[in-house]
């Protein structure tokens, strides 16, 4: 069970990674828990800044993790936060937003890459996500203390301006990458020091002090306790994702061979290091609908690992029906085609059956599973977040 802190205790509570902090029950903005935890913080918007004079003492980044057009995400394995800026509609330039979130991102990401080092001017970023409870729909979950950048990314990769369009109007927004530091507990003493204008007091955690002084990221990473996803974990978890996978299934169900080409494209979109060499002929595919290579190493001197891909356009789990899951027989067929120093990829609009999933993982077969939920999320991450845009993508891609 997740540790939960009652609303009337928030002004004295420590902040614990992944603990839930309950909102109030009055039915208005006074129920917001974050400004109770961190006095002086706004109770609205994704960017919430606590100022002392002209200085920003701390910044709260809040996300529902439910915006399909701007999919904020937390990767617990890498200790990485992907967070989108606040220019989400046409009509204004990227830095001139009402809350100033994008201007803030530009300033702080420039500071971490400044040759003279201005890390001391950067406040801690406190990450909260939406987590409704029985007591309050405004309850939140604390996800950690973050700082701009990530050691795996260069200065050209951690803050990127991307173009999107709405109703034919184009505009830019930022995609930013933060590191979640190895700070399991934020004690109330450090919070009080921050609110008094001293983020590097004696009460500050060592991971924060190390980053401020040396720029060294001590990241909070975590290994998953299981690598077998449940049927629920593989099933689209909101209406947008359900709509997307239903559109795909309905388009390809009468011609599953055409889905092979589409499935290969999805895997290619998932990772820029994927190279699709051939969509195999239907009559001689031998358990492989596509073959390709995955690139390792540096670009001027890479090495490659071959893979075989199989595609299954099976009925997904939609309202009123059960899914037609991929079973042991289908997975075994792919496993039998994998040679030494190769891996397999199975892409399906549905889900992988529990027994098949378990056998592959327990036997250590190098198989990547991409299920219906994954397909929808890959498309959304590339800007195809509606039925119309997905249909257009399918038609444009298959017409090439």
DSSP 117: -
Residues 250 and 206 in one domain: no
The pLDDT profile of the chain, 400 residues, written as one tens digit per residue, is 789 999 999 999 999 999 999 999 888 888 999 999 999 888 778 899 999 988 999 999 999 998 888 889 999 999 999 999 999 888 888 988 888 899 999 999 999 998 777 899 999 999 999 999 998 999 999 999 999 999 999 999 999 999 887 777 888 999 999 999 999 999 999 999 999 999 999 999 999 999 999 999 999 998 776 678 999 889 998 888 999 999 999 999 998 888 999 999 999 999 999 999 998 865 444 446 899 999 999 888 999 999 999 999 999 976 556 778 999 999 998 998 888 889 999 999 999 999 999 999 999 999 999 999 999 999 988 888 889 989 999 988 776 6
> Residue 106 burial by CB count (10 A; 0-12/13-18/19+): exposed, middle or buried?
middle
Domain presence at residue 225: no
Residues 357 and 293 in one domain: yes
Q: What is the pLDDT of residues 330-346, one digit of tens each?
A: 999 899 888 888 999 99
Domain presence at residue 321: yes
CA distance 148 to 122: 9
Residues 163 and 274 in one domain: no
Residues 32 and 175 in one domain: yes
Domain presence at residue 219: no
Residues 205 and 306 in one domain: no
Domain presence at residue 172: yes
CA atoms within 13 A on the CB side of 52: 12
SS3 217: coil
Per the structure, the count of domains in the chain is 2
CA distance 371 to 349: 6
- Degrees (nearest 5) of the Cα angle 262, 264, 265? 65
Residues 246 and 210 in one domain: no
Spatial contact of 146 and 180, defined as CB atoms under 8 Å apart: yes
Spatial contact of 31 and 42, defined as CB atoms under 8 Å apart: no
Among 214, 245, 275, identify where a domain stops.
214
CA distance 106 to 175: 11
Residues 114 and 192 in one domain: yes
CATH of the domain at 24: 2.30.280.20
Residue 293 vs residues 228, 267, 268, 299, 341: alpha-carbon distances, Å: 25, 11, 10, 14, 11
CATH of the domain at 363: 3.40.1350.10
Residues 245 and 290 in one domain: yes
CA distance 175 to 84: 5
CA distance 332 to 330: 5
Could you tell me the residue range of the domain that residue 79 belongs to? 4-214
Among candidate residues 151, 143, 103, 149, the one with its CA nearest the CA of residue 126: 143
For the chain, helix, strand, coil in percent to 5 are: 30, 25, 40
CA distance 391 to 393: 5
Spatial contact of 156 and 43, defined as CB atoms under 8 Å apart: no
Spatial contact of 270 and 292, defined as CB atoms under 8 Å apart: no
Spatial contact of 141 and 33, defined as CB atoms under 8 Å apart: no
Domain presence at residue 222: no
Among 214, 246, 278, identify where a domain stops.
214
Residues 202 and 265 in one domain: no
Domain presence at residue 330: yes
Residues 208 and 353 in one domain: no
According to DSSP, the residues that pair with 265 across neighbouring strands are: none
The helix (H) or strand (E) run that includes residue 264 is helix 256-270
Longest dimension (CA), the chain: 72
Residues 61 and 123 in one domain: yes
To the question of pTM greater than 0.95 for the whole model, the response is no
Residues 254 and 388 in one domain: yes
Among 189, 214, 239, identify where a domain stops.
214
Domain presence at residue 226: no
Domain presence at residue 141: yes
């Amino acid at each position: 069970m997740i540790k939960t802190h009652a609303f009337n205790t928030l002004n004295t509570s420590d902040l614990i990674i992944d603990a839930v902090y309950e909102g109030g029950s009055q039915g208005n903005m006074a129920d917001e828990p974050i400004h109770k935890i961190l006095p002086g913080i706004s109770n609205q918007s994704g960017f919430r800044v606590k100022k002392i004079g002209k200085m920003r003492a701390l910044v709260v980044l809040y996300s529902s993790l439910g915006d399909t057009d701007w999919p904020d995400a937390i990767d617990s394995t890498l200790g990485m936060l992907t967070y989108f800026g606040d220019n989400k509609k046409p009509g204004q330039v990227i830095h001139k937003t009402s809350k100033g979130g994008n201007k803030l991102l530009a300033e702080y990401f420039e500071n971490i890459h400044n040759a003279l080092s201005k890390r001391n001017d950067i406040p801690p970023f406190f990450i909260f996500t939406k987590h409704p409870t029985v007591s309050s729909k405004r309850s939140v979950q604390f996800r950690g203390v973050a700082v701009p950048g990530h050691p795996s990314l260069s200065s050209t990769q951690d803050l990127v301006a991307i173009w999107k369009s709405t109703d034919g109007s184009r505009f830019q927004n930022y995609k930013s990458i933060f590191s979640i530091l190895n700070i399991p507990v934020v004690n109330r003493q450090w919070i009080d020091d921050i609110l008094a204008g001293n983020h590097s007091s004696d009460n500050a955690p060592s991971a924060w002090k190390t980053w401020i002084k040396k720029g060294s990221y001590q990241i909070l990473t975590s290994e998953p306790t299981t690598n077998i996803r449940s049927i629920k974990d593989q099933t689209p978890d909101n209406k947008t994702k359900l709509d997307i996978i239903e559109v795909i299934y309905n388009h390809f169900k009468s011609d599953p061979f055409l889905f092979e080409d589409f499935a290969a494209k999805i895997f290619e979109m998932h990772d820029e290091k994927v190279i699709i060499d051939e969509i195999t002929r239907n009559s001689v595919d031998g358990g492989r609908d596509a073959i390709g290579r995955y690139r390792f190493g540096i670009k001027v001197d890479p090495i490659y690992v071959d893979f075989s891909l199989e595609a299954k356009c099976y009925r997904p789990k939609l309202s009123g029906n059960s899914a037609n899951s991929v079973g042991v027989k289908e997975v075994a067929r792919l496993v039998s085609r994998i040679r030494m120093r190769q891996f397999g990829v199975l892409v399906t609009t549905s889900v992988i059956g529990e027994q098949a999933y378990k056998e592959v993982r327990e036997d250590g077969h190098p198989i990547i599973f991409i299920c219906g939920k994954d397909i929808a999320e890959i498309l959304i991450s590339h800007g195809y977040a509606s039925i119309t845009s997905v249909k257009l993508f399918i038609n444009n891609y298959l017409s090439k």
